[in-house]
A and B are shown apart, each in its own frame.
Chain A
Amino acid sequence: MDVVYIMIVVSLIIALLFFFLFINTVKSGQYDDMYTPSVRMLFEDEIVNDKVKEKSEITK
């Protein structure tokens, strides 16, 4: 069962890694705004898409 040592150590390393990540994400202000990102991800660069459509029409 010494494998338990490995598993605990490895798991803790992973956990600490993510913990570290979390702290830094907070520190960098990523989570200051907990609403806008959810809306922002819905936007697509409509104009670009239009252009593409036009292009494709032309090529047809």
Chain B
Amino acid sequence: MAQEFCYHCGADCHSSKLIFDEKNFCCNGCKTVYEILNQNELQCYYDLTKNPGSIPKEIKEKFNYLDNPDIVSKLVEFDDGETVVAQFNIPSIHCSSCIWVLENLNKLNKGIKSSQVNFPEKTVRLTFNVTQINFKAVVELMTSIGYEPYISLEDASSAKKKIDRKLIYQVAVAGFAFGNIMLMSLPEYFQMDEFWLNQYKSFFRGIMFVFAIPVVAFSAKDYFISAFKGLKHKILNIDVPISLGIGILFIRSTYDIIFNLGQGYFDSLAGLVFFLLLGKVYQQKTYNFLSFERDYKSYFPIAVTLIDKDKNEHYIPVNDVKKGDRLLIRHQELIPVDGIIINGNALIDYSFVTGESFPISKQSGDKVFAGGKQMGGSIEIEVIEKMSQSYLTQLWGNAIFNKKLTNNIKSLTDTISKNFTIVILAIAIFGAIYWFRIDQNVAFNVFTSVLIIACPCALALAAPFALGNMLRLFGKDKFYLKRADVIESLAKIDVIVFDKTGTLTSSQSQIIYSGEHLTEFDLIGIKSLLRQSNHLMSRKLYEDLNYPISNKVANFEEFIGKGILGTINDISFYLGSANFVGVNEKDDILQTKIWIKINDEIKGKFIFENTYRANLASVFKQLESTFELIILSGDNEGEKEKLSRLLPVSVQYYFNQKPQQKLDFIKDLQSKNKYVLMIGDGLNDAGALAQSDVGIAISEDINIFSPACDGILNAEKFELIPRYLKCSKQTLKLIKISFIISFVYNFLGIYLAVQGLLSPIIAAIFMPLSSISVVLFVTFGSNIIFKKN
């Protein structure tokens, strides 16, 4: 049949098609959004982009907790009792239509005064009048048209992050000063001795001096600071020679103009600082729409529904939940703490935790772990662990999360700069001493010249530009790194540890039937029953079975979280969990099954199996030669032999690993001083990801949940992992080569300097030349590397 696509969201509206205004809709949600927009003259939402919408999530009591004022107060930026300003993070923003409709929210509700979208960050800032529309209503309004804000504990707890623009100011000052100083210094380069020029010299030089001051005092500040810090800890980091150079440049130039010895090196000074800062800016590329620092809090609801003795519901902040409390968990809500089901039937999706994509059904009395998401109706649980102690979250007690994320690998540049600095100082001093005996003025000249020309601008620029550029290239390929220097760490990796479920397996699943043969009639019956159910698994299976459907389904019933039953021609069908059909088999955590009972006879079961990612084998094959490969899984050994058939023999397997164990495992590897790359996805990997030298989270949808890590990899790019590693390694090689180049430059310069031949104009040409050529070299180099691999 010809495929028909939803006018709103563009999804294929297969089985259940709705028609409204001669337009197809895949679901009621989409249709409603269309109606809302239509009534409010917002149709051109659909003109700007084709099928711009996204399917709205049903709201129900979902946002009730926003009635709790002190929760709301944590979420707003400004509130004077009437006007309220709040910023929302909306992952579903993706096109110009989104911008348009969100900035026209006030057409939907007069209470909203103004709204401003920040597309790159996927946020919208709203100003609204609480007397006309309250916070909750605003959230629900946006959700109702498919823009559900992503509200998390994190936002509430962590103070609004302030954008730090210091670097931009520093660059601006340096650049501005550079331009003007150049203007002032050029005349003396062009013409040595001319009537007018001689008249202006002092004027020009004065201006240069004035402009140089802010460059040194403000723009270059951080170099001095870090150099000082370094020295305090007895480290000669790259900033030491840099600040030495800058300092000397300034002093020497000032000296020159005061005693009218020459025009000084102010232009070189400003240029140097400007280029260095540009390097910093370039390296500072960040993916604003991603968050690399999410901890468990961002997964969990801000508030939960507490049921007190007399069965009243309250909304309390999740942190206030105590042992023994009774909580109400609704459909689609996350279980915030470990507990025992009191009543209701749970169908729990642990995908955040394990990456396992299929829900597992639980009955009252069973234990449920924090992090699971309830899929059926609402359930009531009794808390057995405070949030902070629960199975998952106790991890966060671990030091690894509190310790500030500093790159524990010493950067290449700093290692080199150490010796470099010593050598330079030596040369400068010897040069000075040598000349001192001959001519003392020259001695000073030589000493300063050496330090000026040896200022390792090129050296300092190589890494930022190489890494920064690689970071961008990776980003284009949907591999997002937190910081550029992660690449440096990647290059050092020798062990790669994989999580299994969700990392090696993809969310696509295959459904296998095992049991007695099913007649076509049976299958038709099954399909027809499934059609009635909206349950996620029912839908899956429904689409999996290619049979016609009979519409003679009678007395259909659905037991949420258990299964469905119905009769066709007086033949009864039971589809559902083991104990629903009456098999006494413990559902194991990891296999999701639908049991089939026809006429009180157990026929068999449909098993939902995870499939491994495409070309998993080839990825491992490529990696095996260079890296030690380990699979570290929380699941049982069920899959082991299947894997070992698939993957190279050298791969090691560890199963049934608790999150804490995973973390310790990595620690242990590191203690054997290995550089470990951890690739995982679920919360249960979070510890390991944080502990490892480089932790990369794989995610099907990068905008939503991914545990704290150094990099986020879009799942569809899994097969590129070897490439990324290769590129990183070669980038580091590239940097090394560029170091050699800049050394050559330095020694050329020093050769002139020690003879006291360094004139301002030479410096003015020499320094930018060296920096720029090195920058170009590494930029092109890294591009080539990326293309080549």
Q: Which of B44, B119, B172, B203 contacts A19 (CB 8 A)?
A: B172
**Do A4 and B120 touch across chains, with their CB atoms under 8 A apart?**
no
- Docked CA distance A6–B116 (Å): 45
- The digit string for B108-131, where 1 denotes a CB below 8 A from any CB of A, is 000000001111110000000000
**Do B119 and A35 touch across chains, with their CB atoms under 8 A apart?**
yes
- Docked CA distance A4–B180 (Å): 15
Closest residue on chain A to residue B100 by CB atoms: A43
A25-43, CB < 8 A from B: 26-27, 29, 32-36, 39-40, 42-43
Is B96 an interface residue, CB under 8 A from the partner?
yes
Is A47 an interface residue, CB under 8 A from the partner?
yes
- Docked CA distance A16–B120 (Å): 31
**Do B119 and A23 touch across chains, with their CB atoms under 8 A apart?**
no
- Number of B residues, CB within 8 Å of A: 25
B658-699, CB < 8 A from A: none
- Docked CA distance A8–B416 (Å): 44
Closest residue on chain A to residue B184 by CB atoms: A8
Residue with the greatest number of chain B CB neighbours at <10 A, chosen from A26, A34, A47? A47
Is B176 an interface residue, CB under 8 A from the partner?
yes
- Docked CA distance A29–B121 (Å): 14
B163 / chain A contacts, CB cutoff of 8 Å:
29, 32
User: How far in angstroms is the closest Cβ of chain B from A33?
Assistant: 5
- Number of A residues, CB within 8 Å of B: 24
Q: Given the known inter-chain contacts A4-B196, A33-B121, A34-B120, please indicate yes or no for A22 contacting B103, CB distance below 8 A.
A: no
User: How far in angstroms is the closest Cβ of chain A from B514?
Assistant: 53
Q: Given the known inter-chain contacts A19-B176, A39-B96, please indicate yes or no for A33 contacting B120, CB distance below 8 A.
A: yes
Closest residue on chain A to residue B41 by CB atoms: A47
**Do A36 and B119 touch across chains, with their CB atoms under 8 A apart?**
yes
**Do A26 and B168 touch across chains, with their CB atoms under 8 A apart?**
yes
B58-103, CB < 8 A from A: 96, 99-100, 103
Is A46 an interface residue, CB under 8 A from the partner?
yes
Is B200 an interface residue, CB under 8 A from the partner?
yes
User: How far in angstroms is the closest Cβ of chain B from A12?
Assistant: 7
Is A1 an interface residue, CB under 8 A from the partner?
yes
Is A10 an interface residue, CB under 8 A from the partner?
no
**Do A33 and B119 touch across chains, with their CB atoms under 8 A apart?**
yes
Q: Given the known inter-chain contacts A4-B200, A35-B119, A36-B99, please indicate yes or no for A26 contacting B165, CB distance below 8 A.
A: yes
Q: Given the known inter-chain contacts A4-B200, A39-B96, A40-B103, please indicate yes or no for A15 contacting B121, CB distance below 8 A.
A: no
Q: Given the known inter-chain contacts A1-B196, A46-B44, please indicate yes or no for A26 contacting B100, CB distance below 8 A.
A: no
Q: Which of A19, A33, A46 contacts B118 (CB 8 A)?
A: A33
**Do A35 and B120 touch across chains, with their CB atoms under 8 A apart?**
yes
**Do A23 and B118 touch across chains, with their CB atoms under 8 A apart?**
no
A15 / chain B contacts, CB cutoff of 8 Å:
176, 180
Q: Which of A19, A36, A42 contacts B117 (CB 8 A)?
A: A36
**Do B200 and A12 touch across chains, with their CB atoms under 8 A apart?**
no
User: How far in angstroms is the closest Cβ of chain B from A29?
Assistant: 7
Is B169 an interface residue, CB under 8 A from the partner?
yes
Q: What is the interface of chain B mostly: helix, strand, loop, or mixed?
A: helix
B199 / chain A contacts, CB cutoff of 8 Å:
1
**Do B121 and A23 touch across chains, with their CB atoms under 8 A apart?**
no
- Docked CA distance A8–B336 (Å): 67
A43 / chain B contacts, CB cutoff of 8 Å:
99-100, 103
B231 / chain A contacts, CB cutoff of 8 Å:
none
Q: Which of A26, A40, A46 contacts B99 (CB 8 A)?
A: A40
Is B409 an interface residue, CB under 8 A from the partner?
no
A5 / chain B contacts, CB cutoff of 8 Å:
200, 203
User: How far in angstroms is the closest Cβ of chain B from A17?
Assistant: 12
**Do B172 and A23 touch across chains, with their CB atoms under 8 A apart?**
yes
User: How far in angstroms is the closest Cβ of chain B from A4?
Assistant: 7
- Docked CA distance A34–B285 (Å): 14
B200 / chain A contacts, CB cutoff of 8 Å:
4-5
**Do B119 and A39 touch across chains, with their CB atoms under 8 A apart?**
yes
- Docked CA distance A17–B116 (Å): 29
B172 / chain A contacts, CB cutoff of 8 Å:
19, 22-23, 26
User: How far in angstroms is the closest Cβ of chain A from B637?
Assistant: 49
Closest residue on chain B to residue A27 by CB atoms: B165
**Do A26 and B169 touch across chains, with their CB atoms under 8 A apart?**
yes
- The digit string for B186-227, where 1 denotes a CB below 8 A from any CB of A, is 000000000010011001000100000000000000000000
B99 / chain A contacts, CB cutoff of 8 Å:
36, 39-40, 43
- Docked CA distance A4–B118 (Å): 46
**Do B165 and A36 touch across chains, with their CB atoms under 8 A apart?**
no
- Docked CA distance A22–B199 (Å): 33
B107-165, CB < 8 A from A: 107, 116-121, 163, 165
User: How far in angstroms is the closest Cβ of chain B from A46?
Assistant: 5
- Docked CA distance A36–B117 (Å): 7
B196 / chain A contacts, CB cutoff of 8 Å:
1, 4
User: How far in angstroms is the closest Cβ of chain A from B409?
Assistant: 32
B168 / chain A contacts, CB cutoff of 8 Å:
26
User: How far in angstroms is the closest Cβ of chain A from B170?
Assistant: 11
Closest residue on chain A to residue B119 by CB atoms: A36
B100 / chain A contacts, CB cutoff of 8 Å:
43
Q: Which of B44, B96, B120, B207 contacts A12 (CB 8 A)?
A: B207
Closest residue on chain B to residue A19 by CB atoms: B176
B116 / chain A contacts, CB cutoff of 8 Å:
36
B107 / chain A contacts, CB cutoff of 8 Å:
47
Nearest first, the 9 closest Cβ-Cβ pairs linking A and B are A36-B119, A33-B118, A1-B196, A39-B96, A47-B41, A46-B44, A35-B119, A19-B176, A35-B120
29 residue pairs A–B, Cβ–Cβ below 8 Å: A4-B196, A4-B200, A5-B203, A12-B207, A15-B180, A19-B176, A23-B169, A23-B172, A26-B165, A26-B168, A26-B172, A27-B165, A29-B163, A32-B163, A33-B118, A33-B120, A35-B119, A35-B120, A36-B99, A36-B120, A39-B96, A39-B99, A40-B103, A42-B96, A43-B99, A43-B103, A46-B44, A47-B41, A50-B41
Name A residues whose Cβ lies closer than 8 Å to a Cβ of B.
Answer: 1, 4-5, 8, 12, 15, 19, 22-23, 26-27, 29, 32-36, 39-40, 42-43, 46-47, 50
